[in-house]
Structure formats: structure tokens, C-alpha cells
Amino acid sequence: MDDLRELYQEVILDHNQNPQNFGRLEAATHSGDGYNPLCGDRLSLTLDVRGDSVNDIRFSGSGCAISKASASIMTTVVKGKTVVETESLFDAFHKLVTTGDAGDGELGKLAVMAGVHKYPVRVKCATLAWHTLKNCLSGKNEVAKTE
Ligand code: ZN
């Protein structure tokens, strides 16, 4: 499990132990579930979208530390962003966890997930929350799968 120890930076461990925005929104405008069969990570998102901005977001579910920390960090980053901005962040984040390229700084605290690119099997854990978010925002009423 040495690879995981290297991956589990302090920030990731902290988000895993004290997840931000954990729970469900009572008055959600969008919701959706995600499942990563490779690892068994399950995730539910509820969102309050006003106009074209993410006013509030919560996540719940159970999964490995990477999936949970990634979801927690994602909720803190996308809150207040427009839908278009979240799509752009998803593209940048996907590039980060598949290549390690943190781009021009747009990613901010998401950059702590850069180490994931060295462990391809963990990429699906890290992107599960983002795939689920994308599905929610596009109104697709189906379980987001990482496969
Ligand atoms: Zn996982």
C-alpha cells in the first residue's frame, strides 16, 4: 500500500476525515448518483443551481479516501461557479489526474490530486464526483459510471 501512502497527502487525508459539504440538500434543483465499479465507490450529489450558477452543493456516499476527498474538494471549489466554469474545471482536472499537468493555476486547491496520474486505477476514484456533477448539470437522470 506504499503507492497509496504517497498519494494520500495531508490535504487528502484531511478531506477524507472531515469531508466538506457532506450530506444532502433538502431543496435540490439537481441530483444524481455515481458509481465506480472498479473500486466500489458510491456517491450522491444534490445541487441548488440558481440561474447558471452552482449556489450550493452537497455530497454523500461511501468510497475510498481518494473518491471521498476528491468529492469534498470539488464541492468547495465549484460552489459559486457557473455551470460553464465547472465544465472548464472538469476538463482541467481530468488533464491533471491523467497527465499530472496542473495547467495555468486555474485548478487551485484541486492541484493536490496531481499524484493520482501515477496510479491509473485511482483516476476513476478521483473523477467519479466530477462525472456525477456533469451528469447532474446536464440533466441526465442516470447513474454516472466511470467505465
Ligand atoms: Zn476508489
* pLDDT digits 0-9 by tens, 50-90: 999 999 999 999 999 999 999 999 999 999 999 999 999 99
**1: confidence class by pLDDT, cuts 50, 70, 90:** very low
Residue 52 Cα to ligand 1 midpoint, Å, equals: 30
Q: Which whole-number Å values give the CA distances from 86 to 2, 70, 83, 108, in the listed order?
A: 33, 14, 5, 13
Residue 80 Cα to ligand 1 midpoint, Å, equals: 27
Phi, psi of 97 (to 5 degrees): -80, -10
What Rg, from alpha-carbon coordinates, does the chain have? 14
Separation CA 65–CA 120 (nearest Å): 16
Residue 105 is predicted with a pLDDT of 82
Residue 29 Cα to ligand 1 midpoint, Å, equals: 27
Residues 95-129 have pLDDT tens digits of: 999 999 988 888 888 988 998 999 989 999 999 99
Does the structure show a pLDDT above 50 at 9?
A: yes
The model carries a pTM of: 0.91
Residue 51 is predicted with a pLDDT of 92
Q: Which residue would you say has higher pLDDT here, 23 or 103? A: 23
Which residues are found with C-beta within 5 Å of the ion, ligand 1? 39, 41, 64, 67, 125
Residue 11 Cα to ligand 1 midpoint, Å, equals: 17
Does the structure show a pLDDT above 70 at 6?
A: no
Helical H runs in the chain?
2-7, 10-17, 65-78, 83-99, 120-137
The separation between CA 60 and the C-alpha centre of its own chain, rounded to angstroms, equals 12
Percentage of the chain with pLDDT > 90? 72
What fold is seen in the domain 2-145? Sufe protein. Chain: A (3.90.1010)
